[in-house]
Amino acid sequence: MTITNEGARAQIGVTGLAVMGSNIARNLARHGHTVALHNRSIAKTDALIAEHGGDGDFVRTETVEEFVAALQKPRRVLIMVKAGDPTDAVIEELAAAMEPGDIIIDGGNALYTDTIRREASLRERGLHFVGAGISGGEEGALNGPSIMPGGPKESYEALGPLLESIAAQVDGTPCCTHIGPDGSGHFVKMVHNGIEYADMQLIGEAYNLFRDALGYDADKIAEVFTEWNSGDLESYLVEITAEVLKQKDAKTGKALVDVIVDAAEQKGTGRWTVKSALDLGVPVTGIAEAVFARALSGSREQRKAAVGLASGQLADKPADAAQFTEDIRQALYASKVVAYAQGFDQIAAGSAEYDWDLHPADLATIWRGGCIIRARFLNRIKDAYDENPTLPSLILAPYFRDAIETAIDSWRRVVSTATLLGIPVPAFASSLSYYDALRAERLPAALTQGQRDFFGAHTYERTDAEGKFHTLWSGDRSEVQA
């Protein structure tokens, strides 16, 4: 069918009207944009119009052809459907109905390598494809998310003002900027989610220490998090932690957190971050521990069977609760610095691998609002990268270097006390070990190289000469240049 867009009046279309898509469509409409609506099953479109039609100017469409015909040129369509095959199916249907110069935006949580593939294929057909990471959950989608659009720079000219108008704003700056080519937007969103996993795990470990080392109940722990939220740790995740801890279960009257099963689930972006980090050779140890901690919590049968295993001689609980509370706060802050440092390392490695020319300060800027990891802390990260865009590690920025110096004794006390009490702190401990490894003058990797050369003739470098060397281990053990 030939599609004309005579009388087309929508500036953008949204297809996929489940919770995220409908909230973004409403956000767009509330900002004065005329929005064409489409969903595979018409019921969601009608529900949106029935319940929220008053939010702005919507164009109801049933078929893809009607949807495309409702859009002004260049047509802009935001896809908000389930990631994976559904996204490919929707792209194919849209591409068949659209024209060169039109823009397809995938706002779902796509795997960045899928976005690279889709962008290349649509470019060949003359269409612009923008993989846009969107963070902030359903509330952010409605009231202002953080948006990370990748894809061709030219398409951002047509799209940027529209996306920036609906993004969260911090100090008058929108939490949306063009990230870089093809899959970079989704890559950055993936790492954002990886950092989110680490941050949540660290908060969880702090909570666990209050509960098991200090014997605090949920209300008392909520008070601590509320207080922390007015200092350096101020962040969305710390704020909602206090809210969750305060919540009472209507059925039992207990704290809700005490009746929730302690098995955490995941949808996959944390796992993707770690897989990608493995491929890129970036040690994102904090993020990896967080992903594994969720997996361990979900191993319910194994855990049940292991309850009661030997704990060793446990130490006494900390005598000075106020000091230990401050120690946990410092350990949380320092470990959080490590998680972000590792995430930004992964972004730098991805940027180099795919030639994306990503700018860390821009990312810190657009993560200050709207997204799940929004935090006061991000201003410090932005300042650090503004001052030195090629920082070898965030840990080396003067502000964070000093913060860790202040925290280091507390951090060690927390990890050692937790270990002596038999309380698991995988993310606190691995972050501290990462820090110690990074600052070490000499690592045991020299021995590893010796072993590799012994069994596999993999060669090694010397501290005092250029080139590669091999020891004739099964011969006279003399050294030869490789």
Residues flagged as binding site? 16-21, 39-41, 81-83, 109, 135-137, 192-193, 197, 267, 294, 452, 458
CB 187 within 8 Å of CB 352? no
Task: Output the smallest distance, CB 264 to ligand NBP, in A.
Answer: 16
Closest approach of Cβ 168 to ligand NBP, in Å?
14
Q: Give me 43's structure tokens.
A: 């019921």
**480 burial class (0-12, 13-18, 19+ CB within 10 angstroms)?**
exposed
Distance CA 435, CA 334 (A): 10
| Contact string (CB under 6 A) for ligand NBP, positions 50-89, x = contact | ------------------------------xxxx--x--x
Per CB under 6 A, which of residues 161..190 are in contact with ligand NBP?
Answer: none
**Tokens of residue 27, six digits:** 């956000």
Position 300: which residue type?
R
Residue 81 or 206 with smaller CB distance to ligand NBP = 81
Q: Does 41 bind ligand NBP (CB under 6 A)?
A: yes
Residue among 89 and 352 whose Cβ is closer to ligand NBP: 89
Part of the chain binding ligand NBP (CB under 6 A), chosen from 38-46, 148-156, 204-212, 240-248: 38-46
CA distances from 47 to 10, 17, 43, 279 (A): 19, 9, 6, 44
Cβ-closest position to ligand NBP: 108
Closer CB to ligand NBP, 25 or 328, in the complex:
25
User: What is d(CA 236, CA 229) in angstroms, rounded to the nearest whole number?
Assistant: 9
Token pair for residue 132?
């846009």
The whole-angstrom separation of Cα 40 and Cα 18 is: 10
- Contact in structure between 236 and 374 (CB atoms under 8 Å): yes
**Could you give the 3-state DSSP secondary structure of residue 65?**
helix
CB contact at 8 A, 481 and 460: no
By CB atoms closer than 10 A (0-12, 13-18, 19+), residue 335 is: buried
Q: Which of 18-26, 273-281, 357-365, 438-446 is the region at the interface with ligand NBP (rule: CB under 6 A)?
A: 18-26
Structure tokens at 126: 């003359």
Does 28 interact with ligand NBP (rule: CB under 6 A)? no
For 40, the 3-state DSSP assignment is coil
Examine the residue annotation and report whether 196 is marked as an active-site residue of this protein: yes
Binding-site positions for substrate: 109, 135-137, 192-193, 197, 267, 294, 452, 458
Query: What is the smallest separation between the CB atom of 88 and ligand NBP, expressed in angstroms?
Result: 9
Question: Which of 188, 182, 215, 30 has the alpha carbon at shortest distance from 109?
Answer: 188
- Cβ 333 to ligand NBP shortest distance, Å: 27
Buried b or exposed e, range 64-100, using 16+ CB within 10 angstroms: bebbbbbbeebbbbbbbbebeeebbebbebbbebbee
Is residue 16 close enough to count as binding ligand NBP by CB under 6 A?
A: yes
- Measured from the CB atom, the residue of 20 and 364 that comes closer to ligand NBP is 20
Q: x/- contact string, 377-416, with ligand NBP (CB under 6 A)?
A: ----------------------------------------
SS3 call for 235: strand
Q: HEC profile for 184-234?
A: HHHHHHHHHHHHHHHHHHHHHHHHHHHHHCCCCCHHHHHHHHHHHCCCCCC
* Between 44 and 380, CB nearer to ligand NBP: 44
The one catalytic residue among 189, 205, 289, 336: 189
CB atoms under 10 Å from CB of 249, counted, come to: 13
Pick 41 or 313: Cβ nearer ligand NBP = 41
Active site residue 265: no
Binding residues for NADP(+): 16-21, 39-41, 81-83, 109
Is there a contact between 347 and 188 (Cβ–Cβ < 8 Å)?
Answer: yes
Nearest distance in Å: CB 110, ligand NBP: 7
CB of 108 to ligand NBP, least distance (A): 2
Euclidean distance between the first and final Cα of the chain, in Å?
67
Beta carbon of residue 78, minimum distance to ligand NBP (angstroms, whole number): 10
The single residue of 196, 205, 289, 382 carrying the catalytic annotation is 196
Buried b (16+ CB within 10 A) or exposed e, 412-422: ebbbebbeebe
Select 264 or 331, whichever has its Cβ closest to ligand NBP.
Answer: 264
Give the total of residues touching ligand NBP (CB under 6 A). Answer: 22
Stretch that binds ligand NBP, among 12-20, 148-156, 248-256, 291-299 (CB under 6 A): 12-20
Nearer to ligand NBP, 18 or 305 (CB): 18
Q: Interface with ligand NBP includes 14 (CB under 6 A)?
A: no
Residue 20 touches ligand NBP, criterion: CB under 6 A:
yes
Specify whether the CB–CB gap between 280 and 194 falls below 8 A. Answer: no
Q: Which residues, numbered 117-156, are part of the site for ligand NBP (CB under 6 A)?
A: 134, 137-138
Report the C-alpha gap between 116 and 133 in whole angstroms: 14
Residue from the set 78, 90, 332, 337 that interacts with ligand NBP by CB under 6 A = 90
Residues near ligand NBP, by CB under 6 A: 16-21, 39-41, 44, 80-83, 86, 89-90, 108-109, 134, 137-138
List active site positions: 189, 196
